Chains A and B, each alone.
Chain A
Amino acid sequence: MIKIENLIKKYSKQTVLEINSLEIPSGQTFGLIGNNGAGKTTLFSCLLDLIKPTKGKVINNGVEVSFSEDWKSFTTAFLDETFLIGYLMPEEYFYFIGELRGLSKIQVDNFVLKFEDFFHGEILGGKKYLRDLSKGNQKKVGVIAALIGEPKVIILDEPFANLDPSTQIRLKGIIKDLSKYNDTTILVSSHDIQDVTEVCDRIALLEKGKLIKDIKTNKETLKELETYFKG
C-alpha cells in the first residue's frame, strides 16, 4: 500500500530522516516508535506531503504523493490540533469532513453515533466549539474524524497520548477492529511501547531518523523494545 524509497530529509546539513526502503502492505497496522526527535512526525509529514523530502519518494497506493494529489481521496490523518477547526462545533466539523469525502449529513450522523461510548457523552450535543474542548476531547474528535468515509490509509500521530485510560482502551479496540474487518492500513506512532505492541502487527523503531528495527509483533516484542530503550 505504502512504499518509501530512499527517503531523505535534511535541514541545512542535519539529516533528520533517512529511510532506504520501507513497504507497508495493505491492511497492516503499522506502529512507529522512537524517542523525541527520532523523526516520527517528520516521516508522517512526508507521507502526507506536508513537507517536501530532500530526496526520495513516497508512493501511496501507486500515487507518488509529491506529484499527484490523488492519494487524498483514500488517505486520512490526525497528527495534531492543526487538524481541527477551532471555531466549529464537533458535529459541524464531522459534517465538514464528511462533505469533503462525499458523505451526506445523515451518513455522518450514523457513522459518528457508533462512537458514542468512545465520546463518553462529552462531545456530541454539547454546547462548545472545538477550541473550547479539553485536549483529550479534541483528540477524540480528531481521531474519529479521521475514520470518516472509509479511508484505505489512516495515519495517527500519538493517538493515545492525552487520553484517559478508558478511552485508550476503547481506541485500541477501534483500531484493531478497523484492520480486522475493513482491510484498512493504519499507521500509528507512540511513545508507549506497551500501546504499540498491543495494537500493531508490525513495529518499526526509529532513532535519529534511521530505521533501527522492523519487527513483526510477537510475544517477545515488548521485552525486545524494553531492552532497547533501557539502553
Chain B
Amino acid sequence: MFKMMFSLQWKEFNRGKAVGGKLFAKILKWLGIIYVAFMTFLMGIIASSYGGPLAEFPFEEGTTVPFLYVNKQLIYVFVYLIVMRYFVQSLPVVNIKALLLTPVLKTQIVRFSLLKTVLTYFNILPLFFLTPFSFLLASTGDYDIVGLIFWNINIIGLIYVTNFFNFLLINKNKLIYGVGGILALIKILEYYSIVDFTAYSEQFFYLFYSQPYAVAFTWILVFWLYDYVNKYLLQGLYTDTGLQIKIKEAKMDDFSFLDRFGKTATFIKNDLRLLKRSKRARTAVYMGIGMLFYGTIFVPSEEILGSGFLFFGYLFSTGGFLFMFGSFVPSWDSQYYPLMMTQNIEYKEYLNSKWSLMIIGTVISTVLASFIYSFFGTNAVYAVLAGAFYNIGVNGYLTLWAGAYTKSPIDLNSSANAFGDKKAFNAKTLLVGFPQMLLPVLVYYFTSQYYDHLTGCLAVAGLGTLGIFLKPVAFNLIMKAYKTEKYSTLKAYKTN
C-alpha cells in the first residue's frame, strides 16, 4: 500500500505544474540545497574548534567552550526552525479526497503523510552540522563520547518534535506569531541583559550530555506528538472538517481615494486587495518587512567580510518588498491572466501600476530602513539611500523585465486545510535577485576602494537616478518582452 502511495507522490512531483524553465529551476534549487548543506557542514567544523564568532573564543586546548557555546545558541536554532518550517516546509499532500473512497485504510493514509515528513530537508540538514561538529569534538579527547552520542540523539529528537509540532501549527497564525514574538522577546531581553535565556539554553542542552538518560524524555515526547498528530489528522479526514477549506467572511475595501490616479489606480486597488486577502501575497509583505533588518546581519562582521558585503546587506534591506512582490509579476495575475489580456487595457498601464506599487513599497522600506540604520551611523544611512535609489531606478525595471520570462503560475486560493500545501515562499525569488545585486555592489566596492565610502554611495545612487530618467526607454523594452511572451505565458498559466 505504501508503495502505491509512494508512486502517486512521485508522479505528482514529476508531472507538476510549470512547463517552461522547470529544469533550470530544478538545477537552481538543488544548487541552493547543496550550497546550504555545504555551509552547514563548514559551520559544524568551525564551531567545533572556535565556538561561535571567530574572534570571540580563540582556540584553546582542553576546554569545552565550543560545546557550551553551541548549547547556548541552540535555543535560537530551535525557535528559528519552528518559524522556518511554518513558512517554507510544505506538508505532504497526497490526493486525499480521491483516496478516501478506495479500500486504503484511513490510518494508512495519515501514517503515510506523516512518515513521509521524516525525511524532509529540514530534518536532514542539521545532520550536516552535527556530524562534523561531534566528530571533531570527540577527536579532541576532551569529551565524554557516550555523552556526545546521547546529546546528538536528543537534538535529533527535538528536531522531530518541531517536525510534528508543525502539523499542529497549520492554520494557526496566532500561534506562529506567538513563537516569532518569543524569539524577538528573548533576543531583546538578552540584548539589554535583563534575562539571559542562552544561559538556560546552555544548561538545558548540557543536561543531555551530562545525564544521557534524560534523552528518554525527549523521545517519549516525539512519539507522543506523533501519536497525537496522527489522531488529530485522522479526525480531519472528513470533507466537512479537516478537508474543508475555511471560508473567511468577506469585507469590502474602499480604496477610492486612489481614483485620482486614473487607470493605474484601478490596478493598484486590486493589488492592494490581493496583498490583503491572499495569504500567498501577504508573505511578500512580511518578507519585505523581514528584509529591512537584513543589513544588521552584516554589521557586526564588517571587518571580516568587508564593506562590499555590508553594502550588499543595505541594498537588500530596502529592496525586500520590491523583489518579493516584483519577481512574481505577472504571476500574481496568473489565475486570471486571460481576463487581463482581453480587457480594454494597455500593457503600459498594467505594468506601470505594478511598478508604482513596487516603488511605493520601496519608498516606505527606505524610510523605515533609514530609521533602523541611523543607529549604525550616517555612513549606513548613506548606503541605505544609495541602495534605495538603485532599487528604484534599476532593479524595479529589471525585476519587471525578468517577470516576463518567469512563467510559474501562482495558486492564490490555496487556503490550506490540515493536509494542504501552503508553501508561500519560493527560494527561486532570492536566486533571481542576487545577480541584480552584483553590479551595484561591484560599483560601490571599486569606487569606495579608490575614493571613499560616500563617493561609492554616490556612484550607485547616480546609476539609480539615471535609471529613473530612462523610465520611458526601459518601459518600452519591458513592454516588448511582455508582448512577445504573451501567448506562451498564457499557455504556461493554463496548466495551473
Contacts and interface: CB of A to CB of B under 8 A. Distances in A.
Bind each other: yes
Interface of A: 48-52, 69, 72-73, 75-77, 79-80, 82-89, 91-92, 96-97, 99-101, 105, 126-129, 131-132
Contact of B344 (A86, A88, A101, A127): A101
Contact of B266 (A87, A89, A99): A99
Contacts of A76: 342
Contact of B343 (A97, A128, A129, A132): A97
A100 B249 CA distance: 27
A87 B273 CA distance: 7
5 contacts: A49-B342, A82-B338, A83-B338, A127-B251, A131-B412
B341 A87 contact: no
A5 to B, nearest CB: 20
Contact of A127 (B249, B256, B335): B249
Contacts of A84: 336, 339
A76 B342 CA distance: 7
A82 B335 contact: yes
Given A79-B338, A86-B335, A86-B413, A73 B344 contact: yes
A171 to B, nearest CB: 20
Contact of A132 (B250, B273, B339): B250
Contacts of B337: 82
Given A51-B487, A127-B249, A88 B270 contact: yes
B250 A100 contact: no
Best-surrounded residue of B256, B269, B346 (most CB of chain A within 10 A): B269
Contacts of A86: 335-336, 412-413
Nearest to B342: A48
Contacts of A77: 342
Contact of A50 (B251, B252, B274, B490): B490
B412 to A, nearest CB: 6
B274 A75 contact: no
Interface in B410-438: 412-413
A128 B345 CA distance: 27
Given A82-B337, A85-B339, A132-B247, 7 more contacts: A48-B338, A82-B338, A86-B336, A92-B252, A97-B343, A129-B248, A131-B413
Nearest to A99: B266
Contacts of B336: 82-86
Given A51-B487, A51-B490, A100-B266, A89 B342 contact: no
Interface residues of B, number: 34
B278 interface: yes
Contacts of B339: 82-85
Give 9 closest A-B pairs by Cβ, nearest first: A83-B339, A87-B277, A72-B344, A82-B338, A131-B413, A99-B266, A132-B247, A127-B249, A73-B344
Interface in B344-389: 344-346
A131 B250 CA distance: 11
Interface in B260-293: 263, 266, 269-270, 273-274, 277-278
Contacts of B250: 89, 126-129, 132
Best-surrounded residue of A73, A77, A127, A129 (most CB of chain B within 10 A): A129
Nearest to B347: A69
B366 to A, nearest CB: 28
A92 B273 contact: yes
A131 B274 CA distance: 12
Nearest to B246: A132
A126 B251 CA distance: 9
A131 B413 CA distance: 7
Interface in B32-54: none
A84 B274 CA distance: 13
Contact of A100 (B252, B345, B493): B345
B277 A100 contact: no
Best-surrounded residue of B250, B269, B338, B490 (most CB of chain A within 10 A): B250
